[in-house]
Structure 1
Amino acid sequence: MYHQSFCVTGSRQSSGQKISKTSGYWKSIYVEIKAPRHIGYILDGNRRWAKKHGLPTYEGYLAGYNALKDVIHATADAGVEYISFYTFSTENWNRAEEEVRGLMRLIRRLFKSDIKELMRKGYKLVVLGGRENLPEDVSKMIDDAEEVSRDGTRATLAMCFNYGGQQEIVRAAQRIAAEGIDPSTIDEKAFANYIDHPDVPPCDLIVRTSGEQRLSNFMLWRSAYSEFIFLDKLWPDMRKEDVTGIIEEYNQRQRRYGK
């Protein structure tokens, strides 16, 4: 497990480059760091956090939402170009109606108001997932948010909403079939052009909180050679400093890609 006391300096740099001493909270020792190009976060433990603190479930999601914003900024400051986060799975529709309403309230807040803050900070937002079952206004908000943030260069935020990894692969196969492409011409590289937002690269690192150690249908295509870090803390307890430890742990890994 990583050491939470580890600290580096950082600004947005590509993998393997030295990190500057000038930005954000990344002010300490000057080290050479390899920032993953793409980190995926599985935001687990919001409901347990609410129960632990004697709060309604919605308050757990709200605390998790606030933690997500801190983690996003810290991850971008570390030089990560793509940040994906699992906000709502296709299976989440089966949860209590009140809980789903609360989640949709936060989603609308992101797309209607908080997207402006993300734009000011230079982020690009893309949404992975199906549009089936979505309220019409939410589907339109997704289109609008992607459009207004499309020129962001600080980092790309890949929001996995109404998302399932298996369903994403099925959608890719359906798109290929709809174009009448000869199956014998399809290989891994060609197939990758038909998944949701194919410009989002494979995950270098997937981080899951709450102590659970499973993918839960997250990024199945993009996780073929991912590194994994599982943290015992609940998602709402995540802070900027945790990103420091995550990057440190990643730098201790040797990626072999099956070799």
Structure 2
Amino acid sequence: MISGEMPPVPKHVAIIMDGNGRWASERGLPRSVGHSKGVEAVRRTVKAAGDAGVDFLTLFAFSSENWSRPQSEVSDLMGLLRRFVRRDLAELHKSNVRIKIIGDRTDLRGDILPLLLEAEETTRNNTGLTLVIAFNYGSRDEIARATIRLAREVEAGRLKADAITPDLIGAHLDTAGIPDPDLIIRTSGEERLSNFLLWQAAYTEFVFLPQYWPDFGAEAFNEALRIFASRDRRFGGLSAKTAAVAG
């Protein structure tokens, strides 16, 4: 980066919001309190992303594996989702935020799917930050569902098998139309993807931060952006500096 230039801002940041339960346990509090505090961190982070000029922010809200958690905890999480949509949707809409939901929508319980659809429809024409909520999401499941759709196209004679390309597979994923993440942040000190955006993360930069998610906010978000700006992204080729020397 030339001195005086603004550091590059990632177009798409994705976050694995980890550590709510441990945050609560270390304070002798119920896990539900940690999840509630995590919603406050979501609000801070959405604002920080918008202020930084990020175009897409994807949050891993609820994985397809999370249904195996104790029923009481799942109920608490669903209740938080309901309250977040009902209380925050108007403010997000006012802030020109567009909401996009990714994940398997089949067999969602009760009023959850209508709430998610309402959030998408209400903000559909907004032109600011796109907030992507990964709900009932698992990357392997997403890839399998995309593969099934392509197989049915081949079976019906509408597609040749050898016409399937990486771009075509990408166009059948839940994230179709969304650029791949430039940066994935995971909180709580854990360093794994946990079945999140496996296809899309082929050339993503990773930043693992020690903070539990309830403690996350603008300072930690901007620190991750600073780390990202220091990275030399090559996408399988030469860096700009190396290419200049080689040339």
- TM-score, scaled to structure 1: 0.86
How far did 1:33 drift?
Answer: 2.0
CA deviations 1:160-213 (Å, max 9, x no partner) are 000001011111112222333222101111111100040111010000010100
> Pairwise mapping of residues 1-259 of structure 1 onto structure 2 (< 5 A)?
32-180=6-154, 181-259=159-237
Q: Distance in 2 between matches of 1:148 and 1:109?
A: 16
SS in 2 for 1:224: coil
- 1:229 partner amino acid: V
Equivalent position amino acid for 1:101 in 2: S
* Cα distance in 1 between the residues matched to 2:85 and 2:150: 30
User: What secondary structure sits across from 1:228 in the alignment?
Assistant: strand
Q: Tell me the distance in 1 between the aligned counterparts of 2:26 and 2:75.
A: 22
Distance 1:94 1:182 in 2: 39
Matched letter for residue 222 of structure 1: Q
Distance in 2, matches of 1:133 and 1:112, equals: 22
Distance in 2 (CA, whole Å) between partners of 1:194 and 1:233 is: 35
Distance 1:31 1:243 in 2: 20
Q: Which stretch of structure 1 is more off in the superposition, 170-179 or 78-87?
A: 170-179
User: Secondary structure at 1:136's aligned position in 2?
Assistant: coil
Mapped to 2, the partners of 1:41 and 1:204 lie a distance apart of 11
**2:189–2:208: 8 Å Cα contact kept in structure 1?**
yes
Cα RMSD (Å): 1.4
- 2:17–2:187 contact (8 Å) kept in structure 1: yes
Is 172-181 or 219-228 further displaced after alignment? Answer: 172-181
* Matched positions, count: 231
**Which stretch shifts more, 239-248 or 58-67?**
239-248
Moved more, 109-118 or 124-133: 109-118
| TM-score normalised by structure 2 residue count | 0.90
Cα deviations by residue, 1:52-108 (Å, 9 ceiling, x for unpaired): 111111110010110111011101211110000101001100001100000000111
Q: Is the 8 A contact 1:126 1:197 kept in 2?
A: no
Separation of aligned partners in 1, 2:59 and 2:196: 9
Letter aligned with residue 218 of structure 2 = K
Question: How far apart are 1:116 and its partner, in Å?
Answer: 1.2
For structure 2, the 5+ residue unaligned runs are 238-247
Q: Which moved more, 1:31-40 or 1:100-109?
A: 31-40
Conserved in 2, the CA contact under 8 Å of 1:158 and 1:200?
no
Q: Distance in 2 between matches of 1:97 and 1:104?
A: 10
Contact 2:38 2:213 in 1 (8 A): yes
By how many angstroms is 1:31 displaced? 6.0
Partner Cα distance (1:52, 1:151) in 2? 42
Paired residue secondary structure (2:222): helix
Q: CA deviation at 1:239?
A: 1.6
Once residues 242 and 31 of structure 1 are traced to their aligned partners in structure 2, the CA distance between those partners, rounded to angstroms, is 22
* Structure 1 position 117, deviation (Å): 1.1
Look at both structures and tell me which one has the larger radius of gyration over its CA atoms: 2
2:184 partner amino acid: I
Letter in 1 for 2:131: L
